[in-house]
Amino acid sequence: MTNKFPYAEDVVDCIDNGVFVVDKNFKVHLWNDFMSIHSRFSADQIIGLKLFECFPELPQKWFERKVKSIYLLKNQSYTSWEQRPYLFKFPHGRSVTGGVEHMYQNCCFTPIFDLDNNVECVCVTIKNVTDLAIKAKQLKDAVVQLEHISSIDGLTQLYNRAHWEQRFKTEVERVKRYKSKVSLIMFDMDHFKKINDQYGHLAGDKVLKQTAERCLNLFRSVDVIGRYGGEEFCIFLPETDITNTGLVAEKLRHIIADTPVNFKSKEIFISASIGFTCSSEKENNYETLIKEADDALYIAKNNGRNQCINFLDSTSDD
C-alpha cells in the first residue's frame, strides 16, 4: 500500500467542477461540494439514493444508454454545451450581468474499474462553460450581423450590388446546369438629379426608399431585388419567361409613376425607365444578361423615359 494523502477526499470537494459517482443502478456514491452548492442536495442527503428519484427532470433514457455503453465498452463518454447545453439545470452565477438562463456545461463520463478490470461505477464531471458559451454566442450573432451588413444597402434595405451580383451569378449557373430560365429587369429613376437639386438630397433618399418599398410589394419572394448603384435598381426573376417579365415590368412602371412621393407635404412625381431580358436556351452569361438589360434601359431613356423596353424586341428591330 502506498502512503495515501489523508485529505484526498477533501480534494474532490476543492475541485471547482461538479464531480459525482453513480453505479449501474444509478445509486449515488459520491457527490462533491460543487454539486451540493448548485443543487438542492448535500452529499449526506443524496448518497445512497437513486439519481432519478432526486432529479426526475434528468433525461433518464438518454442517461441509461450513456452509462450502458460505458459499462460495455469501458470507455469515456462526453457531452458538449453546443449540442446539449446542460445535464443539470443549475443556476449560472451571473445573477447581475445575466444574459443566460442556466449554467452551460461540458460533461465527461468516466468508468471506474474494480480489481478485475470490470466497470464498478461511473464518475461524472461537470465543467461550467457558461462564459465560453456566451462568448461563442456573441461571436455567432456578430457573424450573422456582419453577413447582413455586408449584403444589404443601408438606405433602401435591398441587397447591395456586390451581394445581388453574386446571387445572380449563382442563379445563371443554376440556369445553365438545369436548362431552366431566368429573367432580368433593370431600371433607373428618371430625372433623379433634378429631384435632388429641386427638393434636396433628403427628398432623393425618400424617393429611393419609396421605390424600394414598392418593389418589395410588387415582386414575389423568389425574385431577388438589389440596388445596382445610385438610382439604378435590378431584379432577377427565376423561372420566368420574357412575356411574364414584360407584364411585371409594365406593372412596375405603373406603381412607380402612378403615385407621387410625399415629401414635406409636397408631391414629387417620379417615373422610371425599364429594360428587361431573359436567358436564352443556348448560351448564358451573367455579365451579358446585365449588359442586355442595361442596353434596353438605355433605349427606354432615349425613347423619352417612363417606359419598358424588351431587349429581345429591340434587337429584332435592328
Partner 1 sequence: MSNSPDFTEDQREYLQEICNIGMGQAGASLSVLFEQYVTLSVPSIEVISAENATESLRRLIPAEQISAVRQGFYTHVTDPNFCGESITIFSGTSFEELAQLIAFEEELTAELEQELLLEISNIINGACLSGIAEQLLERFFHTPPSVIGQNIAVEDLLQTDQLQWDHALSIKIKYSVEKQSFECDLLLLMPDFAVKYLQEVLNKLLDEL
- List interacting residues with partner 1 (CB under 8 A): 59, 61-62, 65, 68-69, 72-80, 82-84, 106, 108
Least distance (Å) from partner 1 to the CB of residue 70? 9
Rounded-to-integer distance, Cα 7 and Cα 232, Å:
77
Least distance (Å) from partner 1 to the CB of residue 15? 18
Indicate the residue among 74 and 201 with the shorter CB distance to partner 1. 74
Least distance (Å) from partner 1 to the CB of residue 76? 6
Least distance (Å) from partner 1 to the CB of residue 74? 6
Least distance (Å) from partner 1 to the CB of residue 86? 12
Indicate the residue among 55 and 71 with the shorter CB distance to partner 1. 71
Least distance (Å) from partner 1 to the CB of residue 112? 14
Indicate the residue among 77 and 196 with the shorter CB distance to partner 1. 77
Indicate the residue among 7 and 62 with the shorter CB distance to partner 1. 62
Indicate the residue among 76 and 259 with the shorter CB distance to partner 1. 76
User: Three-state SS string across the chain, please?
Assistant: CCCCCCCHHHHHHHCCCEEEEECCCCEEEEECHHHHHHCCCCHHHHCCCEHHHHCCCCCHHHHHHHHHHHHHHCCCEEECCCCCCCCCCCCCCCCCCCCCCCCCEEEEEEEEECCCCCEEEEEEEEEECHHHHHHHHHHHHHHHHHHHHHHECCCCCCECHHHHHHHHHHHHHHHHHHCCCEEEEEEEECCHHHHHHHHCHHHHHHHHHHHHHHHHHHCCCCCEEEEEECCEEEEEEECCCHHHHHHHHHHHHHHHHCCCEEECCEEECCCEEEEEEECCCCCCCHHHHHHHHHHHHHHHHHCCCCCEEEHHHHHHHC
Indicate the residue among 177 and 282 with the shorter CB distance to partner 1. 177
Indicate the residue among 82 and 197 with the shorter CB distance to partner 1. 82
Least distance (Å) from partner 1 to the CB of residue 71? 10
